[in-house]
Amino acid sequence: MDEKTSLRYQLISAWCGPAFVVTFIIFWLGFGHNFPNPSPSLTAIALKERYLGSLGEIRLGFIISMITVCLYMPWTCVLAGQMSRIEGKNMPILSYLQLIGGALTVMVVSFSAMFWAVAAFRPEASPETFQLMTDTGWLCIDLQYACTTLQMVAAALVGLADKSKVPLFPRWVCYLTIWCGISFFPASLTGVMKDGPFAWSGILSFYFPYFCWLCWYSTASVFMIKEIRRRMNVAEPVGSSRLAAA
Amino acid sequence: MPVELTAPIPATAKAEPRLPGDPDLWFLILAELLTFGMFFVAYVGYRAMETEVFNASQLTLDRTLGVINTLFLLTSSWAVVSAVRAARANHSQQVPRYLALAILLGLSFMVVKYFEYSAKFAAGISLNTDTFFNFYFALTMIHLGHVIGGTVVLTVIWSNARKGACHAGNMRGIESGATFWHLVDLLWIFLFPLLYLLR
């Protein structure tokens, strides 16, 4: 593959990042009725009614989410490639860590949506079934954040060790990344809390860490796209080869 | 013998105002402060809604252990400052000693917290007892996570300092670690009165 083609694929993959954020917000949060999300203190009957009230939208939201969450994959690959360039001829363990962290994040998010899609599959099922599947989905995504934290820490450590003239990430982005990774910790409390700010519908276990996650993801996307653009300009300075060919 | 790469920085030298450690680290510090600031606002908000529950539950906390832990963290911050000062003066042998003291105090903090938590669990009190204990366990556990992280950072710096790597010519690492440790201390200074003393 020539460099131009490779760079084009890199650029498309990096743009999958913003595309993931937008589709996640539309389908997972919007159509999936996760904004606000159901409280763990809802009774089983109230929860079932919540599903039945917007069954079509919830099904559409989560089924599409399971497809669009895969936009996270090409983005993770670009980041792994950019990181391994910084790791140089050393063993690229942090790039690998980021890669599997990103891959597992996709599965964690995907499985949450799948459990809720299962809940919406048989509307005649008992309220307890709805409750069980809803609990499983939320605990699946809220307790398994450490894959994503490791992905972020790996990216931040490589970013901080970047000695390039124009580094991939400015140092403040690396610290933002570490902090966003730390912000997930309260989500572990969702395993025991049924109401209050640390329950899975609470501000400190849901709105805040999810915001931080998307905030890091969007910021990193901007700098990854910039890096690819820089390399495109080096590979083919604007208006040079095409004019020369003509 | 450690090699002195740079002349010691005189304590009286009038330096340009600057942020100690990696300047971008302050972004993390600020973000942490804002996060905990949000926790504290949430705590005070919920407290205002259930003042009686909070007041009653607060009385069951062991203030003596809280005070002991406060002293541990304050002393460890002093030890870290002394380590930074020793490094700046190129007194390379003193640096690991002060850092070891700070690490020891950090570990003592964890031991005290362990006994505090065990006593609460033994008394049948858990995260779900009431809103106050939601906050008490959540905030102190998140803070404890920071103490553990900070202690790991100090241990890494201690191990470098033993090789003589902390001197006036190489202050960035030790200053960054010290800054983070002060953050951990500062957060406890807010947590302690909010959880143990506020009436």
Which residue of chain B comes nearest to A178, CA vs CA?
Answer: B28
H-helix segments, chain B: 25-49, 51-58, 63-88, 94-122, 131-162, 172-192
Res. B11: pLDDT tops 70: no
Res. B18: pLDDT tops 90: no
φ/ψ of B93, rounded to 5, equals -75, -30
How far off is chain A from B90, nearest CA to CA, in Å?
26
Which residues in chain B touch residue A203, judged by CB atoms under 8 angstroms apart?
42
- Residue A128: inside a domain, yes or no? yes
- Residue B14: inside a domain, yes or no? no
Q: Using one digit for the tens of pLDDT, what is the confidence trace for A1-47?
A: 899 999 999 999 999 999 999 999 999 999 999 999 999 999 999 99
Q: How far apart are CA B110 and CA B145, in angstroms?
A: 10
pLDDT at residue number B129: 87
**Res. B23 pLDDT band, cuts 50 70 90:** confident
pLDDT at residue number B22: 85
Looking at every residue in chain A, the average pLDDT score rounds to 93
Q: How far apart are CA B91 and CA A69, in angstroms?
A: 55
CB contact under 8 A, B25 and A189: no
pLDDT at residue number A235: 85
- Residue A14: inside a domain, yes or no? yes
**Res. B4 pLDDT band, cuts 50 70 90:** low
Percent of chain B's residues with pLDDT above 90: 69
Amino acid, single-letter form, for residue B104: L
Percent of chain A's residues with pLDDT above 90: 86
* CA proximity to A58, closest of A106, A135, A121, A132: A121
- Residue A224: inside a domain, yes or no? yes
pLDDT at residue number B14: 60
Q: How many CA atoms lie within 13 A of A137 on its CB side?
A: 26
- Residue B18: inside a domain, yes or no? no
**How many angstroms separate the Cα of A140 from the Cα of each of A108, A115, B154?**
7, 9, 34
CB contact under 8 A, B31 and A175: yes
B76: which 2 tokens? 């460890």
Amino acid, single-letter form, for residue A245: A
Residues B134/B127, Cβ–Cβ less than 8 Å: yes
> Which residues does A195 contact at the CB level (< 8 Å), separation at least 6?
A39, A40, A41, A202
Q: Does an H or E element contain A47, and which?
A: helix A44-53
- Residue A242: inside a domain, yes or no? no
Q: How far apart are CA A71 and CA A242, in angstroms?
A: 32
- Residue B144: inside a domain, yes or no? yes
Residues A46/A94, Cβ–Cβ less than 8 Å: no
Which residue of chain A comes nearest to B43, CA vs CA?
Answer: A197
Mean pLDDT by 10 residues, chain A (246 residues): 93 97 97 94 95 96 97 97 94 96 97 96 96 96 95 96 94 93 89 88 91 95 96 77 50
Residues B143/B190, Cβ–Cβ less than 8 Å: no
- Residue A225: inside a domain, yes or no? yes
HEC string of A144-203 equals CCHHHHHHHHHHHHHHHCCCCCCCCCCHHHHHHHHHHHHCCHHHHHHHCCCCCCCCCCCH
| Contact residues, chain B to chain A, C-beta under 8 Å | 22, 24-25, 27-28, 31-32, 35, 38-39, 42, 46, 126-128, 131, 134-135, 137-138, 141-142, 145
* CA proximity to A175, closest of B40, B27, B3: B27
Q: Does A156 touch chain B (CB under 8 A)?
A: no
Q: For residue B142, what are the domain limits?
A: 25-197
Which residue of chain A comes nearest to B22, CA vs CA?
Answer: A171
Structural domains in chain A (count): 1
Mean pLDDT of B65-84: 96
Which residues in chain B touch residue A171, judged by CB atoms under 8 angstroms apart?
22, 24
Structural domains in chain B (count): 1
Q: For residue A223, what are the domain limits?
A: 3-234
Q: Using one digit for the tens of pLDDT, what is the confidence trace for B168-198?
A: 888 999 999 999 999 999 999 999 999 999 8
**How many angstroms separate the Cα of A237 from the Cα of each of A146, A232, A244, B189?**
42, 8, 12, 56
> Which residues does B30 contact at the CB level (< 8 Å), separation at least 6?
none
- Residue A37: inside a domain, yes or no? yes
Which residues in chain B touch residue A196, judged by CB atoms under 8 angstroms apart?
46, 131, 134-135
Res. B28: pLDDT tops 80: yes
Please calculate the CA angle A105-A110-A113 and round it to the nearest 5 degrees.
135
Which residues in chain B touch residue A204, judged by CB atoms under 8 angstroms apart?
38-39, 42, 138
pLDDT at residue number A196: 83
pTM attached to this predicted model: 0.83
**How many angstroms separate the Cα of A167 from the Cα of each of A34, A154, B188?**
37, 16, 36
- Residue A179: inside a domain, yes or no? yes
We report the CATH number of the domain holding residue B60 as 1.20.120.80
- Residue B54: inside a domain, yes or no? yes
CB contact under 8 A, B24 and A182: no
Q: Does A207 touch chain B (CB under 8 A)?
A: no
Packed helices B25-49 and B172-192: angle between N→C axes, nearest 10 degrees: 10
Which residues in chain B touch residue A197, judged by CB atoms under 8 angstroms apart?
42, 46, 134-135
* CA proximity to A31, closest of A66, A57, A52, A53: A57
